[in-house]
Chains A and B, each alone.
Chain A
Amino acid sequence: MFFRLCGECLPDRVRYMSGAKEIRTKISSIKNTQKITKAMEMVAASKMRKAQERMLASRPYSEKIRSVIAHLAHAHPEYRHPAMIERTARRIGLIVISTDRGLCGGLNINLFKAVTSTMRKWHGEGLEVDLTIIGSKAGAFFKRLGGNIVSQATNLGDSPGVNELIGTVKVMLDAYEEERIDRLYLANNAFVNTMTQQPIVEQIVPIQGDEDQELKYHWDYLYEPDSKPVVDALLTRYIESLVYHGVVENLASEQAARMVAMKAATDNAGDLIDELQLIYNKARQAAITQEISEIVGGAAAV
């Protein structure tokens, strides 16, 4: 793989290809690889910018819907959605968001490490886990690991939409309402900055509100036609927006990680080319010296 080109293993490799021609072909092959990694780096950089914009664009919606939910939590409505009520956990639902493609450094592996350690902790407490997978990398990983995968969405592309997530989220919400799972968690990479992506596993259902916050007065909405369908629709959209936000954040993380990984690969290829060039020059010089000494030796013999 491109990013595993490393300078340390060089001397060994070179010992077996002292021929100047072999070194030359090696150099040109590395140059080709370098061109590819450079191109991938630039593509990732421009995609990252777009992904970041998308991440910012999804923020107003989640802020607005969160403030409505906060009102609801305080308003003592006549109907309380199950997603707002805590119950003892026996089985946990987990949505894992990964990338569809590789070549993005340790991004997915770091996330899977965090997820598996959390899952081990849950298993230790006697809790079972149902998985929903977004992104084909997580699908392959948890299939091999033998997780209980109930639904999946892959190939979301560079501009994922909420409508591609409705199905997977609904599977989990239905399971929650039918009490097949008692909690729902979301795992994805949080975009801290270009250099840092932090894997996080957090609970999204039941909704954790700041309950202790005291309101001066209590009021409730009028609901049209009725509180149940309205609150149901609101909470479904809230969970969907959380998952969507996770997806776009993961996408920004993916592009940032790929950009950094490809930059490292390009740099490593450059180092490798420099060292090989030096060895090539030495080999060439040695060949010329040998030729001259042969000629001189020949002339002396005559």
Chain B
Amino acid sequence: MSMTFHVNIVSAEAEIYSGTATMVFAPAEMGEVGITPRHSPLLTRLKPGEVRVRSDDHEEMFFYVSGGLLEIQPHIVTVLADTALRAKDLDEAAALEAKEQAERMLADQKADFDYAKAQAELSQAVAQLRAIQKLREKMHT
């Protein structure tokens, strides 16, 4: 029997996978990494892509992650997957939106909820479109 280690793939909203593996491939920021047992401790960010888990009986499982963090210890590998698309300007747009919402709430005497919601949804959609474009550009280059 080959050596195995434990793999956990979790996102903030749910546990995605937990089990043993002989090898794991992950899309790290500096290029894809293949992890075998007794890897030295490593911490890195993940790009959007595929995490492959090779189990004991040479079966491979695929998990899509939209980014996140990868923690490696000799006998345990943890993938902290993001549930949301993360890009710096996307985060900034969200922060701006949160600020604006507070300002709007304080300014409005009677809060016009539908208007505020529509505005929020619009700016969210715009920001997401921008992030998707950026990702596409990156993939093509």
Contact = CB atoms under 8 A, between A and B. Distances in A.
Nearest to B113: A155
A118 B97 CA distance: 28
A171 B99 contact: yes
A131 to B, nearest CB: 9
Given A58-B12, A143-B105, A161 B71 contact: no
Contacts of A143: 105-106
Interface in A137-161: 139, 143, 149-155, 161
A162 interface: yes
Interface stretch (B36-44, B57-65, B132-140): B36-44
A60 B92 CA distance: 28
Contact of B84 (A60, A71, A139, A166): A166
B41 A220 contact: yes
Nearest to B44: A224
Interface residues of A, number: 47
Given A61-B11, A68-B78, A223-B43, A139 B91 contact: no
A149 B86 CA distance: 26
A170 to B, nearest CB: 4
Interface in A16-52: none
Interface string B3-37: 00000101111110010000000001110000000
B105 A151 contact: no
B94 interface: yes
Nearest to B94: A167
A166 B41 CA distance: 29
**B-side interface size class:** 35 or more
Contacts of B83: 161-163
A99 interface: no
A131 B116 CA distance: 20
A90 B10 CA distance: 37
A54 interface: yes
A71 to B, nearest CB: 8
A62 B12 CA distance: 7
Interface string A229-268: 1110110010011001000000000000000000000000
Interface of B: 8, 10-15, 18, 28-30, 40-45, 68-69, 71, 78, 80, 82-86, 91-99, 101-102, 105-106, 111, 113, 117
17 contacts: A57-B13, A57-B14, A57-B15, A61-B10, A133-B102, A143-B105, A154-B101, A162-B12, A166-B86, A170-B91, A170-B98, A174-B95, A219-B41, A221-B71, A224-B45, A234-B43, A241-B12
